[in-house]
Copies of this chain bind each other. A is one copy, B any other.
Amino acid sequence: MARPRQFDEEQVLRAVRDQFWDAGYAATSLEDLMRVSGLGKGSLYGAFGDKHQLFLRALRSYTDTSGGYLREMLTSTPRALDALRAFVMAPVSDPGGAAARRGCLMANSTCELATTDPDVLAEARRTYEATTALVAECVVRAQGEGDLPADADPIETARALLAAQQGLVFMGRTGLGIDQLTATAGTLADRFLPDA
């Protein structure tokens, strides 16, 4: 056999993901990636391929992880309406508002690359369709629990909730204070989720 790897793939992907998250794709250089991962160029290329492939791996890892958290949260919250409210308020759930300022890696990547990078666009479509489906499922549950009107289209409602949430994420990136952001999140949630 041969020499084993001296690094943990998951750990490296997390470090790389954070770097892309904070600086974006174009503004992140290979030197940055070497610094945050502690690896040399050869190791990075040997293990993940070039910068673009590495980015896609990190992005996929991010969407898989947050998709898992979302599914868990939506299904494990006893009352579906509470889960939906938590979904909308998620961008401001971080106490200091740091998460709000950082935004969402998938959203940032979509803005930066979706028009020019087909792989990123595909990942964006995949992610937002999956998210819409998860939320729609939760909407159906809320309807079954009598908390949402039964005649509303679940998919359409889910899309509107997702748009509202992503709008919040975006407002966070404009430097809007966490207090105003939280208030706006509440206003949005109240409009869609009566009596939560």
Mark A residues whose CB is within 8 Å of B. 22-24, 26-27, 101-103, 107-108, 110-112, 114-116, 121, 124-125, 128, 156-157, 159-160, 162-168, 170-171, 173-176, 180, 183-184, 187-188, 191-192
Contacts and interface: CB of A to CB of B under 8 A. Distances in A.
Contact of A184 (B103, B159, B170): B159
Given A107-B111, A164-B163, A192-B191, A174 B124 contact: yes
Nearest to A26: B26
B188 A160 contact: yes
Indicate how many identical chains form the complex: 2
B27 A170 contact: no
Contact of A115 (B101, B162, B168, B176): B101
A187 B163 CA distance: 11
A176 B125 CA distance: 7
B128 A115 contact: no
B173 A170 contact: no
Given A115-B22, A167-B163, A157 B110 contact: no
Given A108-B111, A116-B27, A170 B163 contact: yes
Contacts of A124: 173-175
B164 A110 contact: no
Contacts of A167: 162-168, 170
A174 B27 contact: no
10 contacts: A102-B115, A111-B111, A111-B170, A114-B174, A125-B176, A156-B183, A157-B187, A164-B164, A167-B170, A170-B170
Contacts of A163: 164, 167-168, 170-171, 184, 188
Nearest to A127: B174
A170 B184 CA distance: 18
B160 A187 contact: yes
